Amino acid sequence: MKFFASCAKGLEYLLADELLALGCARATATTAGVNAEGSLHDAQRAVLWSRLASRVLWPLAEYDCADEHALYAGAREVPWHEQLDATMTLAIDAHVSGSAITHARYAAQRVKDAVVDALREHAGARPDVDVESPDLRLSLVVRKGRAILSVDLSGGPMHRRGWRRAQGEAPLKENLAAAMLLRGGWPALYREGGGLLDPMCGSGTLLIEGALMAADVAPGLMRHGDTLPSRWHGFDADHWQALLDEAVSRERSGRGALRQCFDGTDLDPHAIRNARENATAAGLRDAIRFDIRDVTGLAPQTGTRGLAVCNPPYDARLAADPGLYRALGDALQRAVPDWRASLLCGDRELAFATGLRAKKSYQLFNGALESTLLVCDPIQVPRRASSEPRALSEGAQMVANRLRKTLRTSKAWREREGVDCFRAYDADIPEYAAAVDVYTTADARERWLHVQEYAAPADIPEDIARRRFGDLLAGAAEALQVPRERIAVKTRAKGKGGSKYGRFQQRGEMLVVREGDVRLRVNLFDYLDTGLFLDHRPLRLRIAGDARDTRFLNLFGYTGAASVHAAAGGARTTTTVDLSATYLQWCADNLQENGMGGAKHRLVQADAMQWLQAERAEYDLVFCDPPTFSNSARADDFDVQRSHVELLRLAVARLAPGGVLYFSNNFRRFRLDEAALSAFATVEEISRDTIPPDFARNPRIHRAWRLSRRPG
């Protein structure tokens, strides 16, 4: 059975690993949560033991939801008398997106009406609503014309552990604190004899969470105590009691063996008072030492290396001071230089202000606040004279400044759209002519760059072109904080036939990145292209939105990114046609990366034109993105300008009634023969809608059209 565990953005991959460790058969990260496969017992174990999840949702029904009437009707079909009694209380949390249903509270009201009407008809009575502490809490999600109704097995927010009695002005949620500790490797350090230090401890969240983790205390144990998290009829109370008994036994053993290795300091006496009160409520009064002290007075620590954790102030209520971050970095380098650090900073600039060199950095969300988690190991990296950074040249500094500006101005768009791979620079400064694309791995752990040099004008001496390209690489590495080994460079080389790209590296190194709801494999070094055309991102997402219950055909399928999006969007079948066995294997790997494959997803190695001439099946959705030309020895020569009318005639002939074909190409001088196409298709140019903001400087990167079959 599949269920969903929600979490704060940035914790998805940690949560997937945790759910697998708790016994789930599969766990796949998605935006703000994890799709898990397991039994009801696995889900109940997650309610008690997950340190990272916000909620655990067990699905009851999923159905088409075009409008409010469909929302009510679908909910009404659920046998509610099997889920709850009329004497019980009920609450519904709703999350809606799209144009059909726009008001979450109204959506929750309509589902409540369906539940009440069903129970009144069955039992002659109705349940009451209790939004604070209901017997049964339901979750409703309406997205892309589908509604999902689930039982909230956790009964409420799981970050509330049950020990918090007092808090400061901007408290850190407990599940985010757990993520900081896990990213910092705290469990292993504790087993090795290390300690935990928080020099700005506030109300003590990180230290308390770290101590409970070390003592093997189930995070849901204090929250639920002797009460069931849900009185849903399907909840297995006997199994829950067995889980509690096991957790109590583990807690007794863990608390008995807990070492006194937890130290917290803060300049604010009220914060220390709150921390002591919370530690007492958590049963840790004697385990954690608290002291009133400024961070600059942090005393050197002795003994086995441990973990320094800290959540310094950075939000609108607690003004972020770069000087404070610098003082924190200096204090840690002085007091615990050999330790590991896990610091939640407001943004990259504040993380940079610490002066610490990160081994890893992650983007996390503390509520609505984006933050940067800095992980250092060790805190103080020995300096070597040969590794001292060189000052940037004037040209490199210009490029770096331009890239920093682009990152700032595009930040809101990238966060809103969830874009991790994008074009950051496209010959913005004409003298520094190259394209710089950013690829962030799906686990958000690493940023890589793909840099393609443009041909310099004939009147530019080669030595000047080389120097400028070197400046561009230096500026990009500095501004985007990417080491040279993670920059793939495609340089122009003069040779027979004119300027062309030189020999590529053969590293065989695949990265997994995220786009929308799917994971895709890219190779930055071995080929001219990476396996993912970033300018087609909006068109692929459009295909995902159109794909539900369709038969999808991908012509000139390349690495199959569009096929994966169509499959994720609910396509009944996908067919990917390409002449290259390498690309088809890449497509198969992309499908497998998303848990897809089998007979529903057909891979065809063939020349697209020849295959279309022989094919007789119908398709509801077709994507055709041919190359500008091809002269493969295994197929007829292809030229998109010369061949596009015949190609599209054959492709449109395969459209089912009401079907849609998206046609695109990147030949700059291409001219669509609309007169010839009008004989068999209706054509609408959609180029403007398919150019993403990061390619707005180059609006002719591709052109795209939407075609449908002309009646008769």
Q: Decide: 373 and 183 in contact? Cβ < 8 Å.
A: yes
Q: How far apart are CA 347 and CA 355, in angstroms?
A: 14
Q: Decide: 578 and 585 in contact? Cβ < 8 Å.
A: no
User: In the prediction, which pLDDT does 199 show?
Assistant: 97
Q: How far apart are CA 398 and CA 429, in angstroms?
A: 8
Which parts of 537-607 fold into alpha helices (H)?
537-546, 561-568, 581-593
CATH architecture of 174-215+258-385: 3-Layer(aba) Sandwich (3.40)
Please give the CATH topology (third level) of the domain spanning 533-709.
Answer: Rossmann fold (3.40.50)
Please give the angle made by the CA atoms of 621, 622 and 627, to the nearest 5 degrees.
160
Please give the structure tokens belonging to residue 572: 């009944």
**Sheet (strand 262-266) strand order:** 288-292, 262-266, 196-198, 307-310, 340-345, 369-376, 360-366
Q: How far apart are CA 15 and CA 5, in angstroms?
A: 8
User: In the prediction, which pLDDT does 169 show?
Assistant: 65
Please give the CATH topology (third level) of the domain spanning 2-152.
Answer: VC0802-like (3.30.2130)
Buried b (16+ CB within 10 A) or exposed e, 517-554: ebbbbbbbbeeeebbbbbbbbbbbbbbbebbbebbbbb
E strands within 286-381?
288-292, 307-310, 340-345, 360-366, 369-376
User: In the prediction, which pLDDT does 496 show?
Assistant: 45
Q: Decide: 572 and 544 in contact? Cβ < 8 Å.
A: no
User: In the prediction, which pLDDT does 387 show?
Assistant: 41
Tell me whether the CATH fold assigned to 174-215+258-385 matches the one assigned to 533-709: yes
Domain ranges of the chain: 2-152, 174-215+258-385, 389-401+414-501, 533-709
pTM (two decimals): 0.61
Q: Decide: 142 and 95 in contact? Cβ < 8 Å.
A: yes
Please give the structure tokens belonging to residue 699: 């609006």
Mean pLDDT per 10-residue interval, the chain, length 712 residues: 95 95 94 95 98 98 95 97 95 91 94 96 93 95 95 95 83 94 97 96 96 98 89 97 96 96 95 96 96 92 91 62 85 95 85 84 81 91 50 88 93 92 95 95 89 87 84 91 87 55 67 95 92 96 97 97 97 96 95 94 95 96 93 74 96 96 95 95 96 93 95 74
- CATH number of 389-401+414-501, picked from 3.40.50.2300, 3.30.750.80, 3.40.50.300, 3.30.1450.10: 3.30.750.80
Q: How far apart are CA 607 and CA 557, in angstroms?
A: 11
HSE value, Cβ hemisphere, 13 Å, CA-based, for 352: 7
Please give the angle made by the CA atoms of 71, 76 and 82, to the nearest 5 degrees.
135
R_g over Cα of the chain: 29
